[in-house]
Structure 1
Amino acid sequence: MFLTILLVLYFLTAIILVMGLLVNGARPTKTLAWLLAIFTIPVGGILFYFVLGRNKRKNKFFELKKTPGISEYLNKVDDYYRKLDEEKVLPEHVREQVKLVKLLTKSSKFLPSAGNALLPLKNGPSTYTAIFDALENAKKYIHIQYYIFEEGELADNFLQLLKRKVKEGIKVRFLYDGFGSWELSRAFIQSLESSGIEVAGFLPMRFGKFLSSLNYRNHRKIVVVDGSIGFTGGINISDKYIKGDPDLGMWLDTHLMIEGPLVRSLQAVFAMDWCFASGKEDVLSAEHFLEETPVGQSFAQVVASGPDSDFASVRQLYFSIVNSAKQYVYIINPYIVPGEALLEALQVCALAGVDVRLLLSSKSDSRLVKWSVRSYFEDMLRAGVKIYLYPEGFLHSKVIISDDRLTSIGTANLDVRSFEQNYEINVLTYGEAMACELKKDFIRDCEISSEIDYNEFRKRPLTERLKEGAAKIFSPLL
């Protein structure tokens, strides 16, 4: 009798999941795969679906209350979007990119802004020096958010500085991802809290919510000081950026320091994540979104998305940059698992005569990721995409440069996980100065890297092809 009840409950659950897939399913191939898993893998198929398969764009983790301030801002976004067609609201050098501006404004809901001072930070030491200097000069508040906050010398320096700032009367809020920072000890967190620092974990690894949250992580790295200076990019808090790693060597990455009106967008992303993780809405108050005086010449836009965003804005950003490139598109990224649409865009771009180059590390921090990334090489090389393997340390940057006009620096990898499962944030800069500066660095790095030859790559052993094929199956989960 008990077994019969279990079977009935199992099949009822399966039927409910199937109905959900049919109503809310995404791609037909993905829907079919989940249907087969549910009915051919007893119990495990349903568990896998709960962990990996649910469509959070349909069933959101979190949705902000439409406060008067938020409604006013969204109306401002809609009004700006309409004016892009009616008036010349964009600087002259950006007008040719009006289609991209419209796309990102509509999908990500962040307005572009002029008058920003943007400084690319090209390694760990320079990034931490700039962040610590900004923290030392904080007068009102400090907001810190990291995917990985790893204990060590660097974390201890952060802790001591933050404690000192709290004693000075500075409000400090600290947000970490529950999975990325799972090694962060309770003692360290308690040391933060006992000092008067507000701490929140994003989707913490708790038993009751383990299945529902394991696959959805907050991969963002954000620091905002007094609403006037901000930082974002690929660099986490870890000693491997200053001391290196025994196996991979020094971790190399790119970050961005921002001053000017764009910091408000960075603040808004932190505020939404803080509200979700802590349950507190205090950071949404107007005092954290004061008008900033223009301090530079850069025109830029924040692009943020997550599993419960209305659109996969970061994927749309990458796709649009590649699709619109006329002369070149240069990509630095450690995890290039593009999926069908972006793979097709890269191939079309290269076949059309555009100089498409990918720069990634010759080393990998994961064997599964390594073989999954390599499984896409042959298709790209055949189309004329040039692939370079960087020999020194582990290249962890997430940068795209195109046509001396567009530069994207951020947290998002070029893979399905960043597009679908992770909360990510990138900054897109419109203009020559940033693009040309990073283009020079890119070309110099290519010169010391080894380029993969298509004909030689085709001769790789069958064992490698089998590893690539097996790893490719898991690419949507990486």
Structure 2
Amino acid sequence: MIAFIKDNVWSILLVFNYLLAVSAVITILLKNINPSKTIAYILVLIFFPFFGLVVYYLFGQEYRKTKLFNRKDIANSNIIKSVGKNLRFEEKKFEDVTIGLDDKIKLIKLLRASEKSPLTLNNDVEILKNGEVKFKRLLEDLRQAKNHIHLEYYIIKDDLIGTELLDIVCEKSKQGIEVKLSYDDVGSKLSSKMKQKLHESGVEYVPFMPVLFSSLTGKSNYRNHRKIAIIDGEIGYVGGVNVSDNYVNNGSNTIYWRDTHLRIYGEAVKVLQFHFLTTWDFVTEHAIEIKKSYFPKINFDGNVAIQIAASGPDTDWANIMEAILTAINNAEDYIYLTTPYFIPNDQIITALQIASKIGVDVKLLIPKDSDSWIAKHATNSNLEKLLEAGVKVHRYNKGFIHAKTLVVDDVFSTIGTCNLDNRSFNINFEINALIYNKHQSELLKSHFLDDLKNSECINFDTWKNRSKLSKLKESYARLWSPLL
């Protein structure tokens, strides 16, 4: 028997592999998930023995999601009840706010019914272009904190900018300021020395869903991709800029990093606070105390209407994707969209095609060179169908563009953490600010048009005649796109 096993070990392993693969295929079919995603998993399981099983058990299993995020959803509901009395906003006539929005009012209605995405009215915002601008403002605000600092980041490293930020919060904590830090265990990298310093300074820090080998799980599912900073419940930050030297153009980086972040002062910060608290309650072992100081009265009469849209595997609806889709469908003049990864679902592709064909000026800005080979070619696989419909596709060539923004018709814009891909729409935790304001939309539009000066517009005929090798790479990457 032992001799037989030794002589046929690979055959036995292969049979065992396909028994597990068949079981996995049956499980996938019974889930009735997206057909393209189903086919992608089945192809990987059949044509890539052993490797296919690793991919499926790392990325396709739902038992962890069901167990963990059912618990998080319950926690969210409890937090909603606890903070509901604090989410009281100064009332203005809804009609006064929505003047000039036309059909964009549907966007507000889409999320307004959700107790997690109320429309906030008394806000002022600053659109922050690039990490160096974001950190200048953020570090100033952190130094001025008087009550609490709440930070939630996908990437935070103790490099130059990260150490400067963490040194400030350590000093504030020693002064008696409450500091809470939630960081994603896959995206972030903090040394044991820095963790010891945080601990000794009284900073509460917790990793989001710890993993054993973070360096080997860069694309593992259900990561917290949000970037949130809250100071005293009055000032909030959200956008694409993580805490790392890679995001700061200080001369030390080999590549120019173009990104966009948002600073909010006003009522919308209360909603950011709510989402921070639900995550904190999920990642910590003890019940969270909801303090009145987390939701101070905002003595400010701003004129920027904002909704905070959050999405993740614990939400019933893909809120951010639906908001983007609704904005595209209701555009009349133009759609200017920036994303580092363009691997969307068929609904977004079709909506952009239709908008362009009916005369809307649709411009898409993506990086010329990506930080991911497979994401680059998966993105490229979607471009020909857009170009054919008249969409103008521009590729940023000054460096890497990481901004995630959309501006429509001078009245609506969004800045946040959500990429246009399956991972952001359905797998990771994301958060965007939806802004209903003419001035801010025009400002973001001007940033977009400035970025086009450092971009090349793809010619449809030239693109259609690209090499067969390029098309083959795109077709290969496209097979993996539902899993990216």
Letter in 2 for 1:327: D
Query: Is the aligned partner of 1:219 residue 2:229?
Result: no
In the alignment, structure 1 residue 270 sits paired with structure 2 residue 276: yes
Amino acid of the residue matched to residue 473 of structure 1? L
Identify which of 147, 157, 176 aligns with 1:140: 147
- Partners of 2:96 and 2:450 lie apart in 1 by 37
Q: Distance in 2 between matches of 1:29 and 1:69?
A: 36
Q: Structure 1 residue 71 and structure 2 residue 78: aligned?
A: no
Give the corresponding residue for 2:310.
304
Q: How many residues align?
A: 469
CA distance in 2, matches of 1:368, 1:348: 27
Indicate if the aligned counterparts of 1:245 and 1:251 stay in contact, CA closer than 8 A: no
- Name the structure 1 match of 2:179: 172
Instruction: Give me the whole-angstrom Cα distance separating, in 2, the residues matched to 1:76 and 1:263.
Output: 12
- Write the distance in 2 (CA, Å) between the matches of 1:387 and 1:131: 33
Residue in 2 that maps onto 1:454: 460
- 2:244 alignment partner, one of 238, 241, 252: 238
Residue number in structure 1 paired with 2:107: 100
In structure 2, the partner of 1:122 is 129
Normalised TM-score (structure 2)? 0.87
> Which residue number in structure 2 is paired with residue 400 of structure 1?
406
Residues 176-255 of structure 1: pairs in structure 2 closer than 5 A: 176-181=183-188, 183-206=189-212, 214-240=220-246, 241-243=248-250, 246-247=253-254, 249-255=255-261
Matches within 5 A, 1:315-394: 315-394=321-400
C-alpha separation between the residues in 1 aligned to 2:259 and 2:356? 26
Query: Are positions 1:259 and 2:265 aligned together?
Result: yes
The alpha carbon displacement at 1:242 in A equals 3.1
Note the aligned Cα RMSD (angstroms). Answer: 3.3
Aligned to 1:432: 438
Give, in whole Å, the separation in 2 of the partners of 1:273 and 1:68.
12
Could you tell me whether the CA contact under 8 Å between 1:142 and 1:171 is conserved in 2? Answer: yes
1:415 aligns with 2:421: yes
Q: Matched residues in 1 for 2:128 and 2:81: separation?
A: 35
Identify the range of structure 1 (333-342 vs 297-306) with the bigger mean alpha-carbon deviation: 333-342
Distance 2:55 2:312 in 1: 20
Partner SS, residue 190 of structure 2: coil
One-letter amino acid matched to 1:126: V
In structure 2, relative to structure 1, the CA distance for the partners of 1:467 and 1:21 (3 Å cut) is: closer
Secondary structure of the structure 2 residue equivalent to 1:435: helix
Q: Is the 8 A contact 2:97 2:305 kept in 1?
A: no
C-alpha change, 1:421 and 1:354, in structure 2 (3 Å) is same
Aligned twin of 2:9: none
Q: Which residue of 2 aligns with 1:50?
A: 57
The farther-off stretch of 166-175 and 38-47 is 38-47
Partner of 2:10: none
Q: Given the two structures, how large is their TM-score scaled by the length of structure 1?
A: 0.88
Give the CA deviation at 1:246: 4.8
- Cα distance in 2, alignment partners of residues 283 and 357 from structure 1: 46
1:445 Cα deviation (Å)? 2.3
User: SS of the residue aligned with 1:474?
Assistant: helix
- Gaps of at least 5 residues in structure 1 are none
Where in structure 2 are the equivalents of 1:18-97 lying within 5 Å?
20-35=27-42, 44-55=51-62, 60-61=68-69, 62-65=72-75, 70-71=80-81, 88=95, 91-94=98-101, 96-97=103-104
Q: 1:473 to 1:97 in 2, by over 3 A?
A: same
CA contact (8 A) 1:331 1:359 kept: yes
CA distance in structure 2 between the partners assigned to 1:147 and 1:378 by the alignment: 32
1:396 CA displacement: 1.0
Task: Please state how far the C-alpha of 1:426 moved relative to its aligned partner.
Answer: 0.4
Question: Unpaired runs of 5+ in structure 2?
Answer: 6-12
Instruction: Note the alpha carbon deviations across 1:158-195, whole angstroms, 9 max, x for none.
Output: 122112111211011111111111x3222222221121
Contact 1:350 1:356 in 2 (8 A): yes
Is the 8 Å Cα contact of residues 147 and 232 (structure 2) preserved in structure 1?
yes
Instruction: Give the superposition deviation at 1:371.
Output: 1.4
Query: Percent identical across equivalent pairs?
Result: 35
